Structure 1
């Protein structure tokens, strides 16, 4: 029965169902009903309305036509050099909602391109890019640069040294500046690098007592719990500071008022020209997707 069913017939069915009018399609719909051996429309009213069988088949028909359109668009994209999938790795310091807005712009332009989004820490985005595991990487800072890559600056990123409101360092901080020996006496929560790029090196570590975590979310949870202190992106902790769940640490070793500033960069390989979808995402990011210090801050 279904072997003779065509996409044109299904499109006609959808058109009549959406318009509520047969117009010139009455004969085509009648043929379709003959093929399916069921009545799709009630013709006893002024405007054709779907029967119960018609309603039951409508969603399946829409799904089949949509899949066929996507298949056709993907095949055309393959022939024109558009990627089937775009792989992106984002540093855990970068606000994902802002990245999501750039990906939304990508999807609007290239709806058939799939996206593989991964989150990495420290040297992981750079290493994955160099290994060819991803097409683009969003990374933070200048410490882990590689001459085989090209970098576009996207936005500033402020990191604030903080501690939970009930921690001993919070009481010291509320009275004034915190000394380096006082910081060194307490556990510092730091990110661990799953790549070998920073092997044997620590960045911004002042305490010999370290707990290592694999994400900013884990780091924030431990600091909130009062286990130790650490640096976190200002966009991530802005509400915690306003609601006094966290206290900012002001110390000579931690930058002005306990804040240091880095830059967010988009990295790509010099030996691998960007294809259309990657160029589109790069343009969206460079146009200002709200990355960095203003992302996530309370109004």
Structure 2
């Protein structure tokens, strides 16, 4: 009966297949060869198929053995993952790392830190969201996320612990073919002139900025719900706006976007914005979150 299969038999099958012989498999398993041969024979009897052709000098996988080897490896992988997860529970390791990231922070850096965390705690699941403005703070306050990455100083909260990570340079840009872009390098644009053109602005999904606007200089606005939409509309020449340097660096280098020719939006149309790793003070971070935070800080410091 298939129900009589044991993990030991499955593991023995995989080790023999990978080592190329019963003798080598026995050495790897620290067993006598007869015990390994017996385990494989029992497994073949349970499955009703021959896994190895034993007619030659060395055992060779049969077509059935080849087909079932991937299943056996998958079984062992899942069992090992379950054991690691159970061990993590006993050590206080989180079952899940939930993270909400400000749209202004590069996800590639977050991915690098998550990869490092997973090498230490492979059983920890990951849940990630991206949100602008008050979204990360709201996610922490409502306990929907354990960790957040917040940009700027506009939403201070005494219940939130902050760890400075890096500066994101925000650059005021416009498409090269936009009327404001055509004057770049020749004419300096004043604030009243910016107000004559459409500004592309991110909407806040939270209620944190209700009744307030941040960095909005034009009465003409196009409000969008995502950073990618803002980037795309500015590239299309619809209007102007601020975008993080990491997102527009290539567009500026290749001439699709230009810096706004104005001194109203920082020197060289650029302003730094501090980015923080944040979490609730009343919810201390677990081992996986701490490893992630340290990895993120190290990557930001490069």
Which TM-score bucket, shorter chain as reference?
Answer: over 0.9
| 1:297 aligned partner | none
1:182 aligned partner? 193
TM-fit CA distance, 1:19? 0.3
Q: CA deviation at 1:79?
A: 2.0
Write the deviation string for residues 126-174 of structure 1: whole angstroms up to 9, x where unpaired.
0111111000000101111211111101011101001011100012223
> How far apart are the structure 1 equivalents of 2:301 and 2:2?
50
- Contact preservation (8 Å) 2:183, 2:261: no
Correspondence for 1:220:
231
Contact 1:140 1:263 in 2 (8 A): yes
SS class of match (2:77): helix
Unaligned stretches of 5+ residues in structure 1: 292-299
Alpha-carbon deviations, 1:173-201, whole Å to 9, x = none? Answer: 23132111111000000100010001111
1:203 partnered with 2:203: no
* Corresponding residue number in structure 2 for 1:234: 245
Which residue, 252, 258, 270 being the options, matches 2:281?
270
Partner of 2:177: 166
User: Does the 8 Å contact 1:250/1:256 carry over to 2?
Assistant: no
Counterpart residue number, 2:14? 14
The answer on 1:136 being equivalent to 2:166 is no
Structure 1 position 26, deviation (Å): 1.7
Offset at residue 214 of structure 1 (A): 1.2
Q: CA deviation at 1:290?
A: 6.2
TM norm structure 1? 0.95
Moved more, 174-183 or 274-283: 174-183
Instruction: Tell me what 2:29 maps to.
Output: none
Q: How many Å separate the matches in 2 of 1:176 and 1:168?
A: 11
TM superposition outliers: structure 1 runs of 4+ over 6 Å = none
After superposing the two structures, state which structure 1 stretch, 20-29 or 234-243, moved more.
Answer: 20-29
Give 1:27 deviation, angstroms.
2.0
Cα distance in 1 for residues equivalent to 2:293 and 2:226: 25
* Count of residue pairs the alignment pairs up: 291
Aligned-partner Cα distance in 1 for 2:236–2:268: 23
TM-score (norm 2): 0.94
Matching of residues 246-285 of structure 1 within 5 Å: 246-285=257-296
Is contact 2:109–2:299 with CA below 8 Å preserved after alignment? Answer: no
Could you say what secondary structure the match of 1:197 adopts? coil
The equivalent residue for 2:79 is 68
CA contact (8 A) 1:189 1:223 kept: yes
